[in-house]
Amino acid sequence: MKVVVDIDIPFVEGVFEPYATVVYKKGDQISREDVIDADVLIVRTRTRCDENLLGGTSVKMVATATIGMDHIDLEYCASHDIYVENAAGCNAGGVMQYVFSAVYGIAARKGIKIEECTFGIIGVGHVGSKIEAMARYLGLNVLLCDPPRAIAEGPEKFCSLEYLLEHSNVVTMHVPLDETTRGMADETFFALMRPGAIFINAARGEVIDEQALVAAEPKLGAVVIDTWCHEPHINLDLLEVADIATPHIAGYSLQGKQNATTMAVQAVAKFFDIDALKDFQPHDDDPTHTPVLLDLKGKNHGEIAAVFQYNYPIFTDDFRLRMEPEKFEKLRGSYQYRRDIYYIE
């Protein structure tokens, strides 16, 4: 058995060695020659898994340690009996923490009263649901837009995109990237948003028209961008107008990375019937790595903002990217994972 692994996936080194030949490479450097005789690929978003990579190889499975799968040609894999597994929901807690650290940090700097804001969440899957739960815990008004869920569950809980944009003070995007979402945040989208509203994209860069966002920035209260078109090359015009800009690390919590690796390893173990790894968990007995339990009930806006910034000083990540935007990929690869947060009901 041969396994090819993105070297930047944490907690996986040494795991498969007792059962397979293992090759580690940077995700964007994995080539067809590397996988020609491989049985499984374990990747992140930097490896494009399509016919160019997989054609004529012995690959039977692709496991991605990410929520998103837009880097994988699912149609090609299905038609060639290549099983694909993602790590659905692995980093939802980290993205939730990112969003609230950003919103409360911006509000503190600009004197925005968060308690009077309506949170508009576009895409209410694993990540969007986590954000919804925190917003409701904090007593905020919430609007939800998720057409697939509205069809499956009924429209009572959800609203149209137009209504959400017109009535939200914070608009945060958590949709997958597909043909229905590519470029959805365009000129018309931003024209519908309320003047002074905060816009956040921690989904995929390609769900927004970056130039339309740059043009709309003067009417917005703040812009927060974690994901970019054409990564690792980023739009410097957008970087200049963004209030917070980070190098695609919203989900980079310690628990999120542990979850992603756990899910990828267990999926491979199940597919190839490796009994010893079916219950795999990364070993980490460092007490400083445990999630942080927060009690935010009864705290005022300033106190909540301070708690979020203490646990994740998001402006530090913003500063680092602004100083060296050309080192986008290095900033991701060397990122010091933060701890997830939980809260007392």
The CA distance from 39 to 4, in Å, is 8
DSSP state of 129: H
- The Cα 271–Cα 22 span in angstroms is 17
Taking alpha carbons only, the member of 191, 195, 252 closest to residue 221 is 195
Provide the token pair at 166.
């017109």
284 contacts 70 by C-beta, under 8 angstroms: no
- The verdict on whether 167 is a catalytic residue reads no
Six-digit token string for 141: 């008004």
Q: Are 19 and 274 in contact (CB under 8 A)?
A: yes
Asked if 135 and 119 touch (Cβ cutoff 8 Å), the reply is yes
Q: Give the Cα separation of 127 and 202 in Å (integer).
A: 10
CA–CA dist 257, 262 (Å, integer): 8
Give yes or no: 231 in active site. yes
Catalytic residue among 248, 332, 338, 339: 248
What type of residue is 218?
A: P
**CA distance linking residue 7 with residue 174, whole number of Å:** 27
Which residue's structure tokens are 């699912």? Answer: 74
Burial of 275 (0-12, 13-18, 19+ CB in 10 A): exposed
d(CA 261, CA 48): 19
Among 48, 231, 301, 320, the active-site one is 231
Residue 52: CB atoms within 10 Å = 11
Give the active site residue among 44, 204, 332, 339: 204
Give Cα separations from 111 to 103, 107, 108, 302, 305 (angstroms): 11, 5, 5, 10, 12
Beta-strand relationship, 222-225 and 198-201: parallel
Rg (CA), the chain: 20
- Give catalytic residues, as residue numbers: 204, 231, 248
